[in-house]
Amino acid sequence: MTYKKQIGNLGEDIATNYLKEKDYKIIARNEKISYQEIDIIASIKGITVFVEVKTSTFFDDYSAEMAMNKTKLKNFKKAISMYSSIHKLDIDMCRFDLIAVYINNANNLPNIKHYIEIF
């Protein structure tokens, strides 16, 4: 497994634990829909929450948020639409979040930014 994939998996683990601590129920992780993937599907207070996780180390030259470019956002929307259709979800009862995880290798303490309703 590549270093980038290891960091990504670690970020998803951190984001999952963060959501659990905030009383979200985790429904699925790494849900593959056609050629797309949804990192985390969770629910809270009757709302289905689709979460894209972007992970970065403090040594990277760009922010985790910047990794969510137009193409990735388009693919994320497509995956959510397909998942919602398959599972007969009311899109009005869904939310689309971004969690940016920054990993500091010096102290191993992550910094988490949770962006609610990114679109």
Position 34 scores a pLDDT of: 82
Position 91 scores a pLDDT of: 87
**How far apart are the C-alpha atoms of 106 and 119, rounded to whole Å?**
34
Encoded amino acid at 28, one letter: A
**How far apart are the C-alpha atoms of 20 and 42, rounded to whole Å?**
9
pLDDT in 10s for each residue of the chain, 119 residues: 888 888 889 999 999 999 999 999 999 999 998 888 999 999 999 999 999 999 887 655 556 667 777 888 888 888 999 999 999 999 889 999 999 998 876 676 888 999 999 87
Position 61 scores a pLDDT of: 54
| Residue 76 · residue 94 · CB < 8 Å | no
**How far apart are the C-alpha atoms of 97 and 106, rounded to whole Å?**
28
Position 58 scores a pLDDT of: 67
Position 112 scores a pLDDT of: 93
What the chain holds in terms of domains, given with CATH numbers, is 3-115 (3.40.1350.10)
Q: How are strands ordered across the β-sheet holding 94-103?
A: 25-33, 36-44, 47-57, 94-103, 110-115
